[in-house]
Amino acid sequence: MRHVQAAVDEARARELLNRGWGALLRSLVRPRNAERKFELIWMPAYLITIGMRSTQGLSELTCFVDGCSGSFALFDMHDAIVDEDFESKTFAKTVDQGVAQSIAREEIVKVILRRRSRAGKPIPETTKDIELLSYPYWVYYYQRRGGLVDIRVLDAATGRPVGNKIRLGVLDAFKAAAHATD
């Protein structure tokens, strides 16, 4: 399966996830014998290309829709997509292709409407391509006071922390995988 290559290695991901006052506070309130785990996971994602028409002519816009949470982002990392085989399991998708396409179209319209432009705003036309691929995330599990386990998630392709929607999608994927093995 095609996938987006992880650009952030484990050492850099640990540094990024344990940065700032939050990391200091977590280390102070975390029990000394708390188990911590750090792993690279692969989540399903749709890469959707939509044709756009504007006063400047025809163009294409590529966007990313997470296959578990439905989270949307514009995508410009085509050079990070690779075809090589890799030894990691991708979680099952919970968002089907039709729903992902409608999310992409709705969110593109929102992005266009927020944009200021005197030259005119582009109009989305047909969907040119939809591809399912694997997207990498670093996940850090740690135990909070009271024995509860929490996670922090980092986008392994960009090195940026993810939003709550993707974090919840990761948690849902873990829950679905746990129920599938029962």
Residue range 3-13, pLDDT digits in tens: 898 899 988 98
Tell me, what's the pLDDT at 77?
86
Number of compact structural domains in the chain: 1
- Of 129 and 34, more confident: 129
Q: Count of residues for the chain?
A: 182
Tell me, what's the pLDDT at 182?
63
Q: Is the pLDDT of residue 39 over 80?
A: yes
What's the rounded Cα separation, in Å, for the pair 96 and 67?
7
CB 141 within 8 A of CB 151: yes
**Band (32; pLDDT cuts 50, 70, 90):** low
CA 176 → CA 27, 60, 152, distances in Å?
Answer: 30, 35, 19
**Band (151; pLDDT cuts 50, 70, 90):** confident
What's the rounded Cα separation, in Å, for the pair 153 and 169?
11
- Of 22 and 127, more confident: 127
Residue 53 belongs to what domain range?
Answer: 3-181
- Of 74 and 26, more confident: 74
